[in-house]
Structure 1
Amino acid sequence: MEKYTLFDEIGGGGGAYGKVYKALDTVSTEDVAVQVISVELGVPSTVTREISALKEMHHPNIVRLRDVEHTENQMFLVFEYLHINFKEYMDSIPDFANNPLTIKGFLHQILRGVAYCHAHEVLHRDLKPQSLMIDKDTNTLKVANFGLVRALGVPVNTYKSEVDTPCYRAPEMLLGSPNYLSSGDVWSIGCIFAEMVNQKPLFRGESEINLSKHIFSILGTPDEDNWPVATSSPKPKFRRQHPKDLATFVPNLDPVGVNLLSKMICTDPIRRITARDALEHQYFKELMQQVCFPAQNS
């Protein structure tokens, strides 16, 4: 670590464990982000999975792991430096929701990064605005915070206390499914999409049950026709509700965008659109290569 000079502690971009610092690579003179992890009790399995996944993935919309160093008691993950997380970025833009081309451009970048993960059989499992980082110099969005990453096809326990932001969690997870599919990530992206449009989360709830009730109050209660697996869930049965017009909950989104959103937040994970197919949706038909991004507040 002699070639890195650490400065202030920062938030975001590093993962589920350890503190993250802005630092200077004294050899390249570039800013970097260094995550410092205690390994006195051994290397956490989450960190091992995160390193393994990031070493295999190289994409412009995925945060780059530049280096891994360690001492007897500490491990240092060196990432490219990114200025701000997506939640902070959205909050800093006046009338962010009134910039449909900006929303379209960022959604496309999220889908590109996640589709690449899924093509490499990597599930993120914790997608939310705070897990996405922005390079303000280029307005490039990058998927970060891979602390809960898993390999596709490997059964995992339900979230339990791992995630503190359940409003982005897919209903199959809320109902206790032990099998996390790539469609779970797509649900989370759909929630982020709606939040970009509304400037607030689409689904809210103080508990898994309350959140599930809110989801079903909008999308309809699962039954044998639209999601047979949900009817056998060990969770409490929910009062029968019919789906409402999704467009009324995202009034600033055009009909084509509503169509894409409905495919991303389909309650049945098997019928949910894939990230790769979402990139081909008509919503992105007129997306220009050069997207105009509004200026941030000073």
Structure 2
Amino acid sequence: MCDLMPASQPAEKMGKMKKLRRTLSESFRSIGDGHKICVTKMSTRSCQGTDSVIKPLDTIPEDKKVRVQRTQSGFDPFEKPASQPTSPKFGKADSYEKLEKLGEGSYATVYKGKSKVNGKLVALKVIRLQEEEGTPFTAIREASLLKGLKHANIVLLHDIIHTKETLTLVFEYVHTDLCQYMDKHPGGLHPDNVKLFLFQLLRGLSYIHQRYILHRDLKPQNLLISDTGELKLADFGLARAKSVPSHTYSNEVVTLWYRPPDVLLGSTDYSTCLDMWGVGCIFIEMIQGVAAFPGMKDIQDQLERIFLVLGTPSEDTWPGVNSLPHFKPDRFTVYSAKKLRQAWNKLGYVDHAEELASRFLQCFPKNRLSAQAALNHEYFSNLPPRLWELQDMSSIFTVPNVKLQTESGDSIQVCSRKNSHGKASCGSKH
């Protein structure tokens, strides 16, 4: 049984109550014109011996009544508050308006959209969620990596919207990509533009490689070109952080034409050199106007095209090649290495271009030039020195005299200046 507490003595109890009332009374401060609230036991006695401050409302002067009435709460906890119009907010699906579909992939659809928050154009990458499969891992990886990447040459992730049916990644809107740009200007790009695009590509790669992130899917479609000529790395769905050495990477990465021979031969132990092969392929495609190694059949055909130019590898030229899963010497024709200009003649028209391309297109992965080292190659020696001093978020086009040239036969000139209203102003050449 519970112990019974002894009854308090009446006198002792009254003393405690008086002490409590006095303490509480002293804790309140004046309101209005010097009046004080007095805590009493159902009493109208004043704390100062004057008339009570607790009076009926009709006996309070009008100027005091207004003050008292303002302190009364009209809130009813059981009454629903009146709906108030709210401004669109980030992180909400209704904050963005879809304008048109830009493309569709195996697990996502990309729309051109508009933000209702600030009126800016955005790209909405809507990823369909299957209830039984959950969120695609590529989407999770892309979102988690891009949240921490802030660079002028990497597409900016503005917002993430998660609903039951979809995961939407909201990116800055960039109006075209390098593939479309080259399609509009066949036969190779202006040499000066190639140099500026390549510099920006290397700048973005150097940034992510220093953070131990591999892109793993470099191709012209994943390099966006803004209306000011900025090149931005995009589509990090296959990107992966490599903080420690790993032997568990998939060799099913990189579109076939831009996939390096070590990956084609089954290697899963690769690092930043994986991306640098893709840089070499894209560099040649910009200069020559055609893909460097456009395999038409399968991996075997792709490797034959590579070996035809760079030479069939051996243990002498590529230590460890015989141990790769798919390398069988008797399956490949033995070719000797050629000068790159024999395969792509326009490399010979630009100072130092052939030498730089050859540093990227090395069959032996460890021989490939890094992005940071490539930025200091002599090929870029005629660019303004200030380009190497820019902050991460600064565009190369903030440097005076850095601008894209009009492409030959160009009908849509990439904007490189702004008018007095701050909007892009473009001329056209037909």
TM-score with structure 1 length normalisation?
Answer: 0.93
Distance 2:293 2:128 in 1: 36
- More deviation in 147-156 or 80-89? 147-156
- The alpha-carbon deviation at position 227 of structure 1 amounts to 0.7
Query: Structure 2 matches for 1:194-233, cutoff 5 A?
Result: 194-205=284-295, 206-233=297-324
Distance 1:121 1:108 in 2: 20
Aligned to 1:264: 360
- The alpha-carbon deviation at position 217 of structure 1 amounts to 1.1
Aligned to 1:158: 251
**Does 2:230 align with 1:140?**
yes
- The alpha-carbon deviation at position 292 of structure 1 amounts to 2.7
Aligned to 1:109: 200
Aligned counterpart for 2:341 among listed residues 238, 247, 251: 247
Aligned to 1:285: 381
Aligned to 2:86: none
**Identical aligned residues as a percent:** 40
- The alpha-carbon deviation at position 233 of structure 1 amounts to 2.1
Distance 1:95 1:209 in 2: 28
Provide the secondary structure at the position in 1 that maps to 2:144: helix
Distance 1:141 1:278 in 2: 17
Distance 1:241 1:231 in 2: 17
Provide the secondary structure at the position in 1 that maps to 2:134: coil
- The alpha-carbon deviation at position 133 of structure 1 amounts to 0.5
Provide the secondary structure at the position in 1 that maps to 2:217: coil
Aligned to 2:411: 297
How many positions carry a matched residue from both structures?
Answer: 291
Distance 2:148 2:264 in 1: 30
Task: Answer whether contact 2:216 2:275 (CA < 8 A) is retained.
Answer: yes
User: Greater share of strand residues, 1 or 2?
Assistant: 1
Q: Output the amino acid matched with 2:168.
A: F
Aligned to 2:37: none
1:222-260: CA deviation from partner (whole Å, max 9, x where unpaired): 112221121222323223221011121221123511000
Task: Answer whether contact 1:176 1:233 (CA < 8 A) is retained.
Answer: yes
**Does 2:221 align with 1:127?**
no
Distance 1:177 1:45 in 2: 22
Distance 1:248 1:255 in 2: 16
Task: Answer whether contact 2:154 2:234 (CA < 8 A) is retained.
Answer: yes
Ranked by relative contact order (alpha carbons within 8 Å, sequence separation 6 or more), the top structure is 1
Greater Rg over alpha carbons, structure = 2
Aligned to 2:148: 56
1:94-141: CA deviation from partner (whole Å, max 9, x where unpaired): 6543x11110110111111111111111111110000111111x1101
Provide the secondary structure at the position in 1 that maps to 2:366: coil
Task: Answer whether contact 2:101 2:110 (CA < 8 A) is retained.
Answer: yes
Distance 1:8 1:283 in 2: 41
Provide the secondary structure at the position in 2 that maps to 1:77: strand
Do the aligned partners of residues 16 and 282 (structure 1) sit closer, same or farther apart at CA in structure 2, a change above 3 Å counting? farther
Distance 1:125 1:202 in 2: 18
Do the aligned partners of residues 16 and 116 (structure 1) sit closer, same or farther apart at CA in structure 2, a change above 3 Å counting? farther
- The alpha-carbon deviation at position 297 of structure 1 amounts to 2.2
Aligned to 2:426: none
Distance 1:213 1:95 in 2: 24
Question: How big is the alpha-carbon RMSD for the aligned residues of Structure 1 and Structure 2?
Answer: 1.7
Distance 2:103 2:366 in 1: 35
Provide the secondary structure at the position in 1 that maps to 2:112: strand
Distance 1:258 1:16 in 2: 37
Aligned to 1:184: 274
Provide the secondary structure at the position in 1 that maps to 2:345: coil
Task: Answer whether contact 2:188 2:288 (CA < 8 A) is retained.
Answer: no
Task: Answer whether contact 2:276 2:360 (CA < 8 A) is retained.
Answer: yes
Do the aligned partners of residues 58 and 192 (structure 1) sit closer, same or farther apart at CA in structure 2, a change above 3 Å counting? same
Aligned to 2:420: none
